[in-house]
Amino acid sequence: MGGETLPGTAAAADDDGSDRVVCHVDMDCFYASCERLRRPELADEPVVVGMGYEDGETVGAVATASYEARAFGVESAMPISEALERLPRRADADPDDPDAPGPEETGRYLPVDLDFYADVAGEVKEVIRDCADTRREVSIDEAYLDVTDRTSWAVAGGESESDTGDDDGDSGEVAGDGNGGGVAGDSGPPPSAAAGPADARTLAEGYARHVKSRIEREAGVPASVGVAPNMSAAKVASDADKPDGLVVVPPGSVADFLAPLPTADVHGVGPVTERTLADMGIETAGDLAAADPDRLDAELGDRGRALYRRARGDDDRDVTPTGLPKSLSRESSLPATADDETKRETVSALAADVARRARERGCLYRTIGIKAVEPPFEVNTRARSLPGPVDDPDLVEEVALDLLGEFAEVRVRKLGVRVSKLDFAESDQATLSGFETAARSDDGASESTAFRSTAESDGSKLTEWVGAEPTDEERGDGGSASRPRGVEEEQASLSDWD
């Protein structure tokens, strides 16, 4: 469409003066959806995709679980062994064994296939880039689109399919489409066919439905889309009606939409901030919007006023592309355990994933570190510097496991692996022997840096779009992406930390 505004889209006035139209696109259970794309027989089946997991094994962590699998209690970042206890593998269902689980109580377990998922994500990207000139690609399954130059908040009605310049009729949300819309010429505006506070159907709703339908038609996977006048409200909206949802929050209705939601639903509120707010007697977004901003500043620092504004529907951030990351890391939540084998298996899987991501992005790294969270929320990190930048997956695992040795017999509830001091330029790599010389003292003792963090991370997406990382402003406590309470992570709770 070349960036032109749809016919008939005069700028709509609203209560707060904002005419921006922001869409947040969030793919539903993306890895599971990709597997169903190439294996249609998995439709409606409980599907579990495991990271660090090979078909038939019981080690590794859940990268994503379909909604059918979640009904059995399988959650992202859960160890595969625990997931199998809740949802046995389909191959273990034996009709001749009275003690074996029945087929209806079993699921399909598949290993992560990042190459295939990247191919599908590339097709999603093509749609997103065609539908929005201004976008922020946050992860492999998540993006913000500013489509103000493509559509508006004007109420739909009177346009025909040919007027919209699109071949499927979705971009103009043609009246009389069987989804509750009126017919051109009817008295009054057509009612909204989307979930959310929108009463009348707007051109913004039609354009969002156009984006959503193109993704499913051209990439073959479903998406949920939230539409609002700013980024944080659009993010909350996309989570409000999963899966395959469309929620529209027009200008002037954002604060009312947010008010009854728990504070955890406010974009940027993580578990630590949620507890702090609860201690202040602030339980809902409405409470947060009505709170004393000076008191919030005193308790939360600069973030307090930012969250106060977001709870009131005020978010003036522009949708801008992300820059190169400063670090790459992954975390995995565990049932509190001191079992060394379980911890080592988890760290090995995380190390492999982090190293793979670094290689996919074409970057080298100079520091390797781990994170160990002891119950309830005691966060410890350890890191070791290398004499020069390297790309060495085996070294990442070796160093991470060596650093993990400091936590032998220590109960942990979360583990993470990180590479940092990234180098995206062409450069010589440090040799392994050079690393060993620089990283160890004369007596062979490991020289590592150590520090303690006070913030708990609540998890973010498993993989990112190439070259895209969430900014600190988009993250909740501890540098992780927040998510609404009651909405499961689409991918594993494996987050970056600062």
Tell me whether strands 365-374 and 246-248 are parallel, antiparallel or unpaired.
unpaired
Q: What is the pLDDT of residue 443?
A: 34
pTM, entire model: 0.62
For domain 327-479, give the fold: Dna Ligase; domain 1 (3.30.1490)
Sequential DSSP letters for 344-404: HHHHHHHHHHHHHHHHHTT-BEEEEEEEEEETTTEEEEEEEEEEEEE--HHHHHHHHHHHH
Looking at the DSSP assignment, which residues form a beta bridge with residue 445? none
Nearest-angstrom CA–CA distance, 157 and 172: 9
Residue 159: is it exposed, middle or buried by C-beta count within 10 angstroms (0-12/13-18/19+)? buried
pLDDT at 446: 34
Query: Residue 245: its pLDDT value, please?
Result: 95
Query: pLDDT at position 182, please?
Result: 38
Q: What separation, in Å, do the N-terminal and C-terminal C-alpha atoms of the chain show?
A: 40
Q: Which two tokens stand for residue 274?
A: 């949620």
Per-residue pLDDT tens for 56-108?
777 888 989 999 999 999 998 889 999 999 999 887 666 666 666 667 889 99
Q: Which of 68, 142, 173, 331 is catalytic?
A: 142
Provide CATH code, domain 259-311.
Answer: 1.10.150.20
Q: What is the pLDDT of residue 145?
A: 96
142 noted as active-site residue = yes
Please report the pLDDT score of residue 97 as a whole number.
63
pLDDT of residue 93: 61
| Assigned CATH topology for domain 22-29+116-250 | Alpha-Beta Plaits (3.30.70)
Position 28, amino acid: D
Determine the pLDDT at residue 69: 95
pLDDT of residue 98: 62
Q: Which CATH class is domain 46-106?
A: alpha beta
**d(C-alpha 496, C-alpha 413), whole Å:** 16
pLDDT of res. 102: 67
Please state, in angstroms and rounded to a whole number, the distance separating the CA atoms of residues 207 and 147. 9
Intervals of the chain under pLDDT 50: 1-17, 158-185, 426-490, 492-498
- pLDDT, residue 92, reads 62
* Res 470: pLDDT: 39
The pLDDT score that the predictor gives to residue 321 is: 81
* Domain coordinates in residue numbering, the chain: 22-29+116-250, 46-106, 259-311, 327-479
> CB of 267 within 8 A of CB of 310?
yes
User: d(Cα 387, Cα 436) in Å, to the nearest integer?
Assistant: 9
